[in-house]
A = this chain, B = another copy of it.
Amino acid sequence: MPEALLDGLRVVEISSYVATPLCGLTLAQLGADVVRVEPLGGAPDRTRWPLAGSGTSLYWTGLNKGKRAIAVDLAAEVDRHRVADLIVHGGPCVVVTNTARHPELTHAALSARRPDVIHALLEGHSDGGAAVDYTVQAATGFPLVTGPADVPGPVNHVLPAWDLAAGLYLATGLLAAERRRLRTGRGASLRVALEDVALATAGNLGYLAEAQVTDHERTKSGNDIHGTYGRDFTTADGVAVVVVILTERHWTKLLAATGLTAAFAALGDSLAIDFSGEAARFEHRDLISALLARWFATTPYADAAKALDAHRILWQRYRTFAEVGRDPGLADQELFAPLDQPGVGPHLAPKSPLVVDGTRLDPSPAPSVGEHNAEVFGPPKREADR
């Protein structure tokens, strides 16, 4: 096995919940030595649902695979100082945390002891106020355009998308700072606010500019994809699928697959609609959907799948988490490998989505509370030496 990308990099993670642990997980999966720091007894997210029958959190063990864990009394200055020692002594280290509560572990305190320290702080609001994924999504606009048009009110997404993105921004920022440190020897202080991640994304995707420079008010459109053609259908035997038509080639193929080429040619002629353009397909989506829905409603899933695949349409059957997790094919996917997690038992766990030189590191178990105290801090000193 050649050297992993992040061999020799230590990450000290003083974290909880999703974003900062995901940052640490992402770096661990690329070969970093990630040490998660917890209060005595374990961090509050250790019990978060979903749980295994044993009471072990499947969420916690999922987000903390392959890390080492130390438990210290974070309320005690002497213990906070011991954690700071791990950061300022030894090899190159980066720090990721979701708290500014511990005076010895801030960027200011650490950089006074070791000028080249790299430290990343996750905040809720950029003014330092508290926020979580659910409050940030409400602040941003997405829940009010999600869900069926006839269901009033917000529909929250279940995926903690802002936590996910924030964790990956933190990883990106730490590695960008590590590049500068390798080239110039300088450390860095990084901050990411969960709210900024959401607002920046709404800006980058054009939603906020649309509000500023046009009169358009984005409203709910169910599962219709905005600005192009795509939505869900149900087959004769009740299977839900999504179909996405991005290009003129997709469109032509879809008509061939569903036997609707002549029908749309006639419709286009009589109504003077050119369906070959993406904007026209979006504008006339209800007309398109009415004809496609008839085809799906009269076609069994197996036949629909065959026709769509034969014409290389972008489509997918909706699956439940249970179907995905219990799919016998999961074991054959190179993303997954067997993991025997204490408290959970043997199951298939994901590696990194990043394949490096054709390979990825196998998953390792998440640690128990304080599992690596002795290993990280070394043998306990005798009283006389303290």
Contacts and interface: CB of A to CB of B under 8 A. Distances in A.
Interface string A304-315: 000000001011
A295 interface: no
B164 A203 contact: no
A228 to B, nearest CB: 7
A83 interface: no
Contacts of A353: 166, 169, 192-193, 196-197, 200
A42 to B, nearest CB: 14
Interface string A76-106: 0000000000000000000000000000000
A293 interface: no
Interface string A142-169: 1111111001011111111100111011
A308 to B, nearest CB: 11
Given A26-B169, A208-B324, 8 more contacts: A61-B209, A134-B242, A138-B316, A142-B158, A143-B223, A153-B234, A191-B354, A200-B350
Which applies to chain A's interface (DSSP): helix, strand, loop or mixed? mixed
A344 B61 contact: no
Nearest to A226: B49
Q: How large is the interface on A (under 10, 10 to 19, 20 to 34, 35 or more residues)?
A: 35 or more
A96 to B, nearest CB: 12
18 contacts: A5-B177, A6-B176, A6-B179, A6-B180, A59-B227, A62-B209, A130-B312, A142-B157, A147-B151, A148-B155, A156-B232, A169-B354, A173-B354, A199-B333, A200-B351, A202-B324, A204-B350, A212-B347
